[in-house]
Structure 1
Amino acid sequence: MATFNGKAPKHGGSHFGPARNDGAHEVPASSTGAMAPRSALSGGTVSRRTAAATKRASSGKVRRASGTGGGGRVAALAGVLLACAIVAGLVFLVVIPSLNAPQQTEETQTVVPGNQVTITIPEGSAAGDVAQILYDNGIIASKSEFLSQARRMEAESSIMSGAYSITTGSDLADIVTLLTTGPNVKTAQITIPEGYTLSQIASTAEQSLGISAADFTAQAKASNYVADFPFLSDVTNDSLEGYLFPKTYDFSSEAEVTADTVIRAMLSQYQTEVSGIDFTAACAQIQERYGVTVNEDDIITMASIIEREAGGDEHRGDVASVFYNRLQAGMMLQSDATLVYSLGRDVTADDLRMEDPYNTYTNYGLTPTPICSPGLASIQAAAYPNDTSYFYFFLSGDYAAFSETLDEHDQAIANRPQ
């Protein structure tokens, strides 16, 4: 029976060949008209009707009409009637409905001047969207007047996203100028992606919140928080690695944001996220199935390795089973990700032979501490692994292969899409 309480025990096992370094996570063991011609007036031929008319005129029998003939009068009357019909239609279809329709007026409001309001302009917002935000927050009295001012200043496409503190009732030109200069409020938000290390979290805190990365790291000690968060009692190296839960945090309501403020929020979030996991029962099941004794810290350590290796949620349970099966068989985990954590860079084949407590090619068992902050899916996979007989996996893009033997593993690698 192997026991893992922070430090990995040494126990015999098989090391299935050298590491592969092919860029994938692998546990080796990883448009015209024409003018009509004019008739000839002399020397030419005229039609029979033209000749007859000429003869009547010379005999005095042709008189000039003083008006239209009967047919012409009918045509004219029809035209008048048609025009009247059109006008009547327009009156009934256009004029009358418009008179009866409710009149649309510009939406305006009374603005109470002098109030300081903080707004956020989302990225990609159009000028109309900005006008709506300003109006909704009581900063401007008229959206159309704001848009007209923005057009006059040729600033419609120059408004920048971000957070702004604006005084209600300010001159429209001043508001437009501010929105095109850039945000004047520093947001108190920090986003920690899944798989970030403590060092990366500290750096993000410095960039997002202005907290010194060194101060953050110095404060991130389990001994500073174990009294309020008992789940930290089993951690090794006094490290909070793995327990600063990845999430977006907003500290806008805080009068002051310090490293302690952020760390406590992250530990509280961890506690909330894992509240549905019965670690005692999970540890007992793992011991019964795999013959290894683990505690909550070991499960978080395993979850951190799964987080860096699994690639997608659909594979986490199987990746977990591979690692537990290898522990049961006395095999090394052989995860490149653990040494990457220690060295802070990609590893080479030579690196995998070096002595390093985080080198799972030369050390049996789990790493001394978690290697990142895992998300809930990885923690659940570590607590409740799939029940498989896999000892190897190969993940590359959309290609995933899990194998029971080294030969199957090698064949899976050879068959991968090129």
Structure 2
Amino acid sequence: MWKSVASNFLTLLIVALMALSGAIYWAQRSWVTPGPLAEAVCVSVPRGGTMTGVSAELEALGAVSNARIFRLGSDYTERSAKLKAGSFLVPAGASMEQIADLLTVSGQSTCGAEVNFRIGVTLAELQLREIVPETGRFEVIEEFAPDAPRPAAYQDFLDRGFGSMRVTVAEGVTSWQISNALGQLDILEGSVDAVPAEGMLAPGSYDIAPGDARGDILAEMTRRQTALLDEAWATRSEGLPYATKEEALTMASIVEKETGVDAERPTVASVFVNRLEQGMRLQTDPTVIYGLTEGKGVLGRGLRASELRRHTPYNTYAIDGLPPGPIANPGAAAIEAALHPAETEYLYFVADGTGGHVFSTTLAEHNANVRKWREIERQQREQTGQ
């Protein structure tokens, strides 16, 4: 009798193991084989979304055959914890593995709508835009100031609660401009009790959501800039004329305001480093402008001769060495240039009419280049009738 019971138990165990093996094989095949989706669909993952919720949504859309297998597969391959918020285009026939990669790897939306709050040197504006799946490029639907009435399409975007939102800060924007712009964005909460230190907010893109605190966004910008500055300072070139990281950041902000051409930033930095080492005044217009505006906007005109003579802590035509602090928030490239400048003998530079600059080592060369630039300006005025 016991032999019969043992034999039956063994048979059942073998059958169970075979069934389990079959289930595992089926699940593995389901994970990697093409899925049931006949046409591409846009899947939106809300901020704070979970793989459980996304799995159910994918099954409802017909993108996966079994939500449980998709969730378990994502857990097993350690993808669930990497789920990104955004809108993702799932192509027809995509396997569960491919879909999991789409939702967890880049975090870059590939379909749907996005709101981008752009904070620039001259203005701040909201862009409601939508990705065209065929090209992967954004098409702007609405563009408006943060203090303007909400367009219907933007309000609909907020009501639906899907799609990504971000703040994008341009290089060279001041801390006052950033704080002021965030204060105008009415989906955010909390006040800005004090404008962060100039130079200590990292330009770049930041994910946001309605209800986020302005202070938290500024804190993240400060964290990123601190990390950038610390890393660049730790690997800085030898013999630089900066006693502190703050002085290096001041130089980086000057470089940022003097050129928008990435390739020439190290050369611009070398000019100012050479001047400091030779005891020459920096004589850079952006610092003078900062002394006049205090970083609360743009001057909107050329500097007057009287302003170049006016003594302020930031007038580098009148003071020796660096000004007392940064004049804007520099990006990573400008910080890198300030701490790893090119090795040159240049002491001067002036615009060349193409968006870049021409550099020189002597005053005579510089004056000749200035004359060429003045002629270019004259021709440009004639062409525009100004």
* TM-score, structure 1 as length reference: 0.50
Tell me the SS of whatever aligns to 1:294: coil
Q: Is the CA contact 1:245–1:267 (under 8 Å) kept in the aligned structure 2?
A: yes
Q: Residues 160, 184 of structure 1: CA spacing in aligned structure 2 closer, same or farther, 3 A cutoff? A: farther
Partner of 2:194: 219
Q: Is the CA contact 1:197–1:371 (under 8 Å) kept in the aligned structure 2?
A: yes
Partner of 2:359: 402
Q: Is the CA contact 2:188–2:211 (under 8 Å) kept in the aligned structure 1?
A: no
Q: How many residues align?
A: 237
Structure 1 residue 207 corresponds to structure 2 residue 201: no
Partner of 1:32: none
Partner of 1:183: 157
Partner of 1:360: 316
2:291 maps to a residue whose letter is S
Q: Is the CA contact 2:203–2:331 (under 8 Å) kept in the aligned structure 1?
A: yes
Structure 1 vs Structure 2 CA RMSD: 3.6
Q: Residues 397, 209 of structure 1: CA spacing in aligned structure 2 closer, same or farther, 3 A cutoff? A: farther
Q: Residues 203, 181 of structure 1: CA spacing in aligned structure 2 closer, same or farther, 3 A cutoff? A: closer
Matches within 5 A, 1:11-30: none
Structure 1 residue 196 corresponds to structure 2 residue 170: no
- How far apart are residue 408 of structure 1 and its match? 0.4
Structure with higher RCO (Cα < 8 A, 6+ apart): 1
Partner of 1:271: 226
- How far apart are residue 365 of structure 1 and its match? 0.9
2:310 maps to a residue whose letter is M
Matches within 5 A, 1:305-324: 305-324=254-273
Greater strand proportion: 2
Tell me the SS of whatever aligns to 2:305: coil
- How far apart are residue 407 of structure 1 and its match? 0.7
Partner of 1:300: 249
Q: Residues 380, 209 of structure 1: CA spacing in aligned structure 2 closer, same or farther, 3 A cutoff? A: farther
Q: Higher Cα Rg: structure 1 or 2?
A: 1
Q: Is the CA contact 2:237–2:340 (under 8 Å) kept in the aligned structure 1?
A: no
- How far apart are residue 208 of structure 1 and its match? 3.3
Partner of 2:276: 327
2:316 maps to a residue whose letter is T
Q: Distance in 2 between matches of 1:206 and 1:263?
A: 11
Q: Distance in 1 between matches of 2:153 and 2:260?
A: 41
Q: Distance in 1 between matches of 2:188 and 2:255?
A: 30
Structure 1 residue 387 corresponds to structure 2 residue 343: yes
Q: Distance in 1 between matches of 2:331 and 2:272?
A: 18
Matches within 5 A, 1:21-100: none
2:171 maps to a residue whose letter is E
Gaps of 5+ in 2: 1-37, 42-58, 63-84, 88-111, 115-128, 135-139, 144-151, 294-298, 380-386
Q: Is the CA contact 2:199–2:249 (under 8 Å) kept in the aligned structure 1?
A: yes
Structure 1 residue 249 corresponds to structure 2 residue 224: no
Q: Residues 321, 106 of structure 1: CA spacing in aligned structure 2 closer, same or farther, 3 A cutoff? A: closer
* TM-score, structure 2 as length reference: 0.53
Q: Distance in 2 between matches of 1:317 and 1:348?
A: 29
Q: Distance in 2 between matches of 1:342 and 1:212?
A: 31
Q: Is the CA contact 2:229–2:249 (under 8 Å) kept in the aligned structure 1?
A: no
Structure 1 residue 371 corresponds to structure 2 residue 345: no
Tell me the SS of whatever aligns to 1:191: strand
Structure 1 residue 258 corresponds to structure 2 residue 213: yes
State percent identity of aligned pairs: 31
Q: Is the CA contact 1:189–1:209 (under 8 Å) kept in the aligned structure 2?
A: no
Q: Distance in 2 between matches of 1:272 and 1:110?
A: 43
Q: Residues 350, 204 of structure 1: CA spacing in aligned structure 2 closer, same or farther, 3 A cutoff? A: same
